[in-house]
Amino acid sequence: MGMKRILVVEDNEDNREILIFRLRHLGGFEILVASNGKEALETAAQIKPDLIFMDLKMPVMDGLEATRLLRQSDWGKNLPVIAITALAVEGDREKALDAGCTDYIPKPITDYSIIERKVRELLG
């Protein structure tokens, strides 16, 4: 079986490092990283993660497009994708769910226990 894999997709280095740090702290998961949607699709196709945290606003390819494309692949159509959304941006949450995201976490993330809850919920 091996360790479950979590892919973190986030273009902002500070946000990315904090999220990775928190996920590593949970222990028992392999953490993978991408900094835009295109990279995320390439990494995911190769490594087949069990869960993705997907920032929505990124250069090259945003999280909405990446999630839509992921949903068109056989292996990606049921993969849990948690969008990281800026709720200040009107309609971001709806757009995330429309694009096929499983769930969303509002940004800025101030309480990281929500991350742990989502991970346990989806990966056990």
For binding to Mg ion (CB under 5 A), which residues are involved?
11, 55, 57-58
- Cβ proximity to Mg ion: between 26 and 61 the closer is 61
- Cβ proximity to Mg ion: between 58 and 83 the closer is 58
- Cβ proximity to Mg ion: between 33 and 123 the closer is 33
Least Cβ distance, residue 121 to Mg ion (angstroms): 24
d(CA 46, CA 91): 32
Integer angstrom CA distances of residue 98 from 10, 12, 71, 104, 111: 20, 24, 11, 12, 26
Q: Is the distance from CB of 56 to CB of 92 less than 8 angstroms?
A: yes
CA dihedral (50, 16, 58, 120) in degrees, to 10, reads: 30
d(CA 45, CA 73): 9
Residue nearest to Mg ion (CB): 57
- Cβ proximity to Mg ion: between 30 and 106 the closer is 106
Least Cβ distance, residue 65 to Mg ion (angstroms): 13
Least Cβ distance, residue 58 to Mg ion (angstroms): 5
Least Cβ distance, residue 6 to Mg ion (angstroms): 18
